[in-house]
Amino acid sequence: MALIVVAEEIAPTGLEMLVAAGHEVRLALGLEPRELRAAVADAAALVVRSATQVDAALLAAAPGLVVVGRAGIGLDNVDLAAATRRGVVVVNAPHANVLSAAEHTFALLLAQARRLPEAQASLLAGRWERSAFEGVELHGKLLGIVGLGRVGSLVAARAQAFGMRVLGHDPYLAPERARQLGVELVSLGELVRRSDFLSVHLPRTAETRGLIGEGVLAAAKPGLVVVNAARGGVVDEAAVAAGIRAGRLGGAAFDVFESEPPASSPLFGLPGVVVTPHLGASTREAQDKAATTVAEQVVGALAGELVPFAVNLPAAQPSEGVRPFVGLARSLGRVLASLSGRLPDGLEVAYEGRLAEADTGVLTLSVLAGVLAASTEMSVSFVNVDQLAAERGLTVRESRVTGATEYVNLVAVRGGGHAVAGTITGPREEARIVMVDDHRVELPPAPHLLVVRNDDRPGMIGRVGTVLGDSAVSISSMAVGPSADGSSALMVLSTDRPVPELALEILRATPGIHSVHAATASD
């Protein structure tokens, strides 16, 4: 069970999923930064929306943090670089609000085109001014869309349903995909020169901040209406306001702002301007999808899984054939590090059988993560494992044997004078350690392992069992593997708790026992 701190309100379905997974959920809503830093001190996961600033200070206040979940798409409020350095996985819900965002974009378009907010305000003030609020039809107009990703593509489809023609600007969109969408791809300059309405659907990055600014708008078609329901700052609010005042632009509709919540904006109070307080994802359906998606990601990350919506993972998602071996690979690295008692100078990772034909980059990273977890107090994950290995000078060499072997699939790790190997077996895809220091054994990875090398003669198992029994340590499982020449044997035992140091000393002093190592297959 892990502690998950939820710093902003999410849909109850997400909270229920976190609790159902067996975790403790602590609500920490509306806290000041200092208070939130105290609240996450012992947290393994943090769930936020868009208001909480997950900066380096907050991340440092949670040394055991494994994952940050953003219940939404944008990550402007998360310091990804700081999270990556600390090995914290950052996940989001990239598909949760795309429909809601596209529909809200169209709500803004319609509201601006038909001047609905002004008309409502007039009517509520007791006036009946039908002739004062003449609007325009969308049918036959040109909509220019900047950014044809998930939301932009949905907006294009809805525009076409209204009889609009659609221009698009997206350097990353293939011409074939544009044809499928029914969108004419043009340069940004041509788009603003020809469009009647302009809708922006871009993330806010160093490259996109201020993209639609004074220079671009100076070439706009007279009467152009600018819509931004994507991210504040991508469109320069002051430049749009200046264009409206000068009569060059026909109006604007904004759901997002450079600073949120905005104390003021140059757009506020201007005629022909519709503004809403970042409502693009504010539907019941979007909030449910965001909460459940991020809950799934957080639960998976806490279980050590490679989650699909992790935004700072360098590793590709493993294939179905590789995925069951991810946890085993980390366990093998952890056992090897326990046996070595130090960080090896280098590792050799061998893949045998069908596994040797697959993309096993994720498995090698998993082995590295297991080894490094024993040598640093930092959280080690797929996010920072390459960086930590490079800092410590740990190199890895891979080898593959695709021909027939004893096992259908095998992962073997060598380094620091020791070796371990494992496989996945049976219909339940259960992990098994099948070799330790070139002795054949078979037992499941476990948190508490004892590895004993001894003379291969009667009574040795009994002596080990007696010492453990006297120390109130129960043996959960056990495997014994003789050496090739029969002169020695290796016992690997899993126990219900760590073997006390005094018991280890007694075993090491027992005649016929050559070495004793306490090991673990988990962090």
**Domain at 3-96+285-302: CATH code:** 3.40.50.720
Asked whether 353 and 407 are in contact (CB, 8 A), the reply is yes
Token pair in block for residue 6: 């939820």
Fold exhibited by the domain 314-436? 60s Ribosomal Protein L30; Chain: A; (3.30.1330)
**Domain at 443-523: CATH code:** 3.30.70.260
pLDDT on residue 314: 66
Strands 224-228 and 249-254: parallel
223-243: b (≥16 Cβ within 10 Å) or e? ebbbbbbbbbbbbbbebbbeb
pLDDT on residue 404: 62
Length of the chain: 523
Along the 523 residues of the chain, how does pLDDT read in single tens digits? 899 999 999 999 999 999 999 999 999 999 999 999 999 999 999 999 988 999 999 999 999 999 999 998 888 899 999 998 888 999 999 889 899 999 999 999 999 999 999 999 999 999 999 999 999 999 999 999 999 999 999 999 999 999 999 999 999 899 999 999 999 999 999 999 999 999 999 988 888 999 999 999 999 999 999 999 999 999 999 999 999 999 999 999 999 999 989 989 999 999 999 999 999 989 999 999 999 999 999 998 888 777 888 888 766 567 888 889 989 999 999 999 999 888 888 999 999 998 999 989 889 988 998 998 877 666 677 777 887 888 888 899 999 988 767 889 999 999 999 999 999 998 889 999 999 999 999 999 999 999 999 999 999 999 999 999 999 999 999 999 988 777 889 999 999 999 999 999 999 999 999 999 999 988 6
Strand residues in 148-201 grouped as ranges (E): 165-169, 184-185, 197-200
Fold exhibited by the domain 98-275? Rossmann fold (3.40.50)
3-state secondary structure at position 43: coil
User: Domain residue spans in the chain?
Assistant: 3-96+285-302, 98-275, 314-436, 443-523
Q: Same fold for the domain at 3-96+285-302 and the one at 314-436?
A: no
CA distances to 10, 24, 159, 194, 281 from 287, in Å: 7, 22, 25, 36, 7
The residue to which tokens 């096993």 are assigned: 360
Asked whether 40 and 62 are in contact (CB, 8 A), the reply is yes
Token pair in block for residue 359: 């993309």
pLDDT on residue 312: 87
Strand order in the sheet with 165-169: 184-185, 165-169, 142-146, 197-200, 224-228, 249-254, 273-275
pLDDT on residue 32: 95
Distance (Å, whole) CA 200 – CA 212: 9
CA–chain centroid gap for 6, Å, is 16
Catalytic residues: 231, 260, 278
